[in-house]
Amino acid sequence: MVAIAVQAVQTAVLERGDFDAFLHAITGRGYQLIGPTVREGAIACGPVASANDLPEGWTDEQEGGKYRLKRRTDHALFGYAVGPHSWKQYLHPPVQRLWRAEREGSGFRVVAEEQARPRYAFLGVRSCELHAIAVQDKVFLGGPYVDAIYQARREDLFLVAVNCAEAGGTCFCASMNTGPKVTAGYDLALTEILENGRHYFVVEVGTQAGAEILSAIPHQDAKDTDLQAVQRVTEETARHMGRSLDTVEIKELLYRNYEHPRWDEVARRCLSCTNCTMVCPTCFCTTVEDVTDLSGEKAERARRWDSCFTMDFSYIHGGSVRASVKSRYRQWMTHKLATWIDQFGTSGCVGCGRCITWCPVGIDLTEEARAIRSTDSACAENHPGENRHDRHP
Ligand code: SF4
Ligand code: SF4
């Protein structure tokens, strides 16, 4: 393969008929390709070998507490919004053994866990999801303690982004300044165009690794009309967001409303089921569990996703700090939209809408924030346009 300079191909056109060659160019370089697949009534991430594995001709309908797959009238490969799975399951696994121990005489021997270093290529990553990965990068790699498990999976990651051509019913990335147009953090970014009987992709090159993949497959230079088509697609998507969130001074709004009666109302509906935290691409909390076999010969310690909605999560010598559902919901939403900003310098929410779609009772944080703002005595409307540091850069 001949490597080419990034400057030589900034944008290109890839025909649908060459899409398998594109996927093979990725897998041929030793990447484990993960992308969207139709599984168990949803579009979920999984191994992809060819375009046949992709959700061709499928879309989704999403609303608070509702998700349905639906047939499209065309053969789009990426004609859906985000599904229940986020990419975090690959970078921050739901269950991760840390070490195990085996009995040896009257003592035991600790066997260190070998660090898996999978070489993933993610296909179909949306703009909000790139921002979510950037948020998790801050959490796991940006502080004084670097998470070795995340780092080993993140280092060689190859990212093929896709500009959303349709907004989901619960999406609000436009409010969070995280989409729908992909702007950074990708190796290659695709926009799928189906126009005038033609099906093709406009490819934007983000890195040298992306340029090398592109150079190995048939493509043409993108024309102005192709770039205009990309702009049309993303502008149209931005106009059709299913939800919106006013982020002006949202941190201050939530900080001065810890005792707002709305927390009691939402707590009457919330089942404290943890779904919103499990599907969220930025939530990162874990617990540590020790397990032994029945004979007492073997033991192991594992790290497992946890949630601020469980009683155990805030259990400290004799009781949970957040014993009520009200305190747990308030903690979650205030962390996402306010305290996260103080902690990591960015919002903890990228507006993907998953917590709304996958909440069994349809609780919607945009609606909760709106309700609090509408009855806030020092409404942020008094200070329009100030202090927008609560949005993603
Ligand atoms: S809080 Fe909800 S909308 Fe925001 S990133 Fe998490 S799942 Fe997506
Ligand atoms: S807000 Fe919804 S998804 Fe989250 S814990 Fe409550 S009921 Fe479950």
Quick: pLDDT tens for 9-68.
489 999 999 999 999 999 999 999 999 999 999 999 999 999 999 999 999 999 999 999
Using the atom order of ligand 2, give the atom closest to the CA of residue 275.
3
User: Which band of pLDDT confidence, cut at 50, 70 and 90, is reported for residue 189?
Assistant: very high
170 lines ligand 1 (CB under 6 A): no
Ligand 1 centroid to residue 373 C-alpha, Å: 19
Return the percentage of the chain with pLDDT > 90, whole number.
Answer: 91
Q: ∠ CA(136), CA(370), CA(62), 5° rounding?
A: 65
To the nearest 5 percent, what fractions of the chain are helix, strand and coil? Answer: 35, 25, 40
What are the residue ranges of helices labelled H in 68-191? 88-91, 127-141, 148-154, 173-176
User: Which band of pLDDT confidence, cut at 50, 70 and 90, is reported for residue 4?
Assistant: very low
AA letter at 338: A
What's the confidence (pLDDT) of residue 2?
37
Q: What is the largest CA-CA distance in the chain?
A: 76
Assigned token pair, 317: 């010598």
d(CA 191, CA 183): 12
d(CA 348, CA 377): 25
Number of helices and strands (H, E) in the chain? 14, 16
The model's pLDDT over 191-230, given as tens digits with 9 standing for 90+, comes to 999 999 999 999 999 999 999 999 999 999 999 999 999 9
> Chain-wide mean pLDDT for the chain?
93
Do you know the residue count of the chain? 393
Ligand 2 centroid to residue 39 C-alpha, Å: 23
The model's pLDDT over 306-336, given as tens digits with 9 standing for 90+, comes to 999 999 999 998 999 999 999 999 999 999 9
Q: ∠ CA(376), CA(272), CA(95), 5° rounding?
A: 125
What is the DSSP-derived secondary structure letter of residue 314?
G
User: Which band of pLDDT confidence, cut at 50, 70 and 90, is reported for residue 115?
Assistant: confident
- pLDDT above 60 for 165: yes
d(CA 180, CA 199): 21
CA dihedral 378, 382, 363, 140 (to 10 degrees): -100
- pLDDT above 70 for 393: no
- pLDDT above 90 for 1: no
Using the atom order of ligand 1, give the atom closest to the CA of residue 172.
3
Can you tell me the mean pLDDT for 70-79?
98
Can you tell me the mean pLDDT for 267-276?
98
What's the confidence (pLDDT) of residue 10?
87
Assigned token pair, 152: 């080993």
Can you tell me the mean pLDDT for 266-285?
98
Q: Which residues line ligand 2 (CB under 6 A)?
A: 270-276, 309, 359-361, 363
Can you tell me the mean pLDDT for 64-77?
98
- pLDDT above 90 for 162: yes
User: Which band of pLDDT confidence, cut at 50, 70 and 90, is reported for residue 112?
Assistant: confident
Assigned token pair, 117: 């270093």
Ligand 2 centroid to residue 36 C-alpha, Å: 25
Those residues with Cβ within 8 angstroms of residue 333's Cβ, 6 or more apart along the chain or in another chain: 254, 365, 368, 369
What's the confidence (pLDDT) of residue 378?
75
- pLDDT above 60 for 167: yes
C-alpha to C-alpha distances, 182 to 79, 129, 378, nearest whole angstrom? 16, 10, 35
Using the atom order of ligand 1, give the atom closest to the CA of residue 132.
5
Using the atom order of ligand 1, give the atom closest to the CA of residue 356.
2
Assigned token pair, 85: 């799975």
Can you tell me the mean pLDDT for 86-101?
97
Other beta carbons less than 10 A from residue 360's beta carbon: 12
d(CA 45, CA 37): 6
d(CA 347, CA 353): 14
The model's pLDDT over 230-267, given as tens digits with 9 standing for 90+, comes to 999 999 999 999 999 999 999 999 999 999 999 999 99
205 lines ligand 1 (CB under 6 A): no
What's the confidence (pLDDT) of residue 379?
63
**Beta strand extents in 257-297 (DSSP E only):** 286-292
Nearest CA to ligand 2 atom 4: 276
* Predicted structure pTM score: 0.93
